[in-house]
């Protein structure tokens, strides 16, 4: 069985999305991963409980990085921008396992106050090498996006093998 780590960085207010992430991993593992002998291992490290070195180490050991953001980029001095930079550096280093980093942005109501760093991040035009950005409205849409990403990654990692039928001429 091949185990593939997926790291989720998520803003503090996105607890429902964290649960949806774990649920999506379980669903994809059961529906597709077992048959392909490849399972995703969800990894979320509570920022309050671990120092940045532990978080960086977990990102560096992961094959995929997801960052879920709402109106904030994280607590002062411990911004998710740092985590994203670590993930992108790993993705560009062929010696690291990182295959892709994706940012999932929760659409916020117009009257929701945004932290300046979050506003700047959202308004910045993506440049070559930036992670893909996907937007979601609610936890259901978030879970669907995560399932779709995991399913695609699984197909890329472990394509279905067709079994030849004995004696069948092609």
* Main-chain phi, psi angles of 128, to 5 degrees: -55, 130
Q: 19 in helix, strand or coil?
A: helix
pLDDT at 160: 64
Q: Which domains does the chain have, with CATH numbers?
A: 2-157 (3.40.50.2300)
pLDDT at 105: 96
pLDDT in tens, 116-166: 889 888 888 877 778 999 999 999 999 999 999 999 999 999 876 543 333
| Residue carrying the six token digits 């780590």 | 5
Contact 65, 100 (CB under 8 A): yes
Secondary structure tally for the chain: helices H, strands E = 6, 5
């Amino acid at each position: 069985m091949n185990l593939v780590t997926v790291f989720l960085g998520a803003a503090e207010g996105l607890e429902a999305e964290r649960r949806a992430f774990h649920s999506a991993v379980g669903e994809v593992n059961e529906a597709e991963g077992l048959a392909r002998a490849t399972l995703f291992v969800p990894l979320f490290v509570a920022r309050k409980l671990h120092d940045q070195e532990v978080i960086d180490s977990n990102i560096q050991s992961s094959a995929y990085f997801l960052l879920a953001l709402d109106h904030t980029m994280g607590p002062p001095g411990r911004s998710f921008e740092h985590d994203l930079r670590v993930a992108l550096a790993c993705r560009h280093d062929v010696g690291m396992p990182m295959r892709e980093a994706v940012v999932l942005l929760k659409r916020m109501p117009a009257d929701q106050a945004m932290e300046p760093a979050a506003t700047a991040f959202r308004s910045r035009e993506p440049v070559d090498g930036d992670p893909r950005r996907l937007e979601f409205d609610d936890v259901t849409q978030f879970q669907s996006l995560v399932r779709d990403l995991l399913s695609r990654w699984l197909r890329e990692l472990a394509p279905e093998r067709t079994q030849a039928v004995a004696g069948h001429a092609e």
